[in-house]
A and B are shown apart, each in its own frame.
Chain A
Amino acid sequence: AQSVTQPDIHITVSEGASLELRCNYSYGATPYLFWYVQSPGQGLQLLLKYFSGDTLVQGIKGFEAEFKRSQSSFNLRKPSVHWSDAAEYFCAVRPVHKLVFGAGTILRVKS
């Protein structure tokens, strides 16, 4: 069965520091992979997605993610975090007609 693991429940970084959120997936075929962000009281917003091609994908708000098939990973990165990035981040994999989500990582940004 398809599954997504986000090993870190909470992460705290200082404003201006770099960020990496981890995501590992389990899926037999070539995966479609996504990162979503949910700000407090808001719905989910798509940050970026990967289907094929270049394994480093760029998204909105300065985020990028790298697909590594050998490690079954799709980690999200940002070189310099802003206070407004504090939110919950979800990694997801798409088998056929649905999305399977990880448990989420809550990002706290300290000034």
Chain B
Amino acid sequence: DVKVTQSSRYLVKRTGEKVFLECVQDMDHENMFWYRQDPGLGLRLIYFSYDVKMKEKGDIPEGYSVSREKKERFSLILESASTNQTSMYLCASLTGDNTEAFFGQGTRLTVV
């Protein structure tokens, strides 16, 4: 089974902190994604990466950055956390033929 693992299920951070959300997949997928999930808004794409050291902005990249130093790991960085970044964050990887995405369990981030 494909596994996408997010390092934390719950995080509480203070405003202004730098926050790292980690995601690891074990199926050698090239494409990885970070989404943000908010009630009534569905999943919105923050960033995605189609190869090591490659990244593309999604629909809501402001206030975020990403890092992909190794194929299996895709990190989301909140440079200076703000309360409006309180949300559920979902990581996903996409199979090589782009036919199926696998999701992690999500990280519920609260910024206080």
Contact = CB atoms under 8 A, between A and B. Distances in A.
Query: A6, A99, A102, A103 — which one has the most chain B CB atoms within 10 A of its CB?
Result: A99
Contacts of A102: 42
User: How many of chain A's residues touch chain B, expressed as a range?
Assistant: 20 to 34
B33 A103 contact: no
Contact of A49 (B4, B56, B58, B99): B99
A35 interface: no
B42 A99 contact: no
Interface string B42-56: 111100101000001
A9 B40 contact: yes
A44 interface: yes
B77 interface: no
B19 interface: no
B50 A32 contact: no
Interface stretch (A14-22, A68-76, A77-85, A90-98): A90-98
Contacts of B105: 42-43
A102 B73 CA distance: 27
Nearest to A104: B42
B83 to A, nearest CB: 22
A56 interface: no
A51 B98 CA distance: 11
Nearest to B40: A103
B48 A98 contact: yes
B76 interface: no
B56 to A, nearest CB: 8
Nearest to A6: B42
A11 interface: no
Interface of B: 4, 31, 33, 35, 40-45, 48, 50, 56, 58, 90, 92, 94, 98-101, 103-106
12 contacts: A9-B40, A34-B101, A43-B105, A44-B92, A44-B101, A46-B101, A51-B99, A97-B50, A97-B94, A98-B33, A100-B45, A104-B40
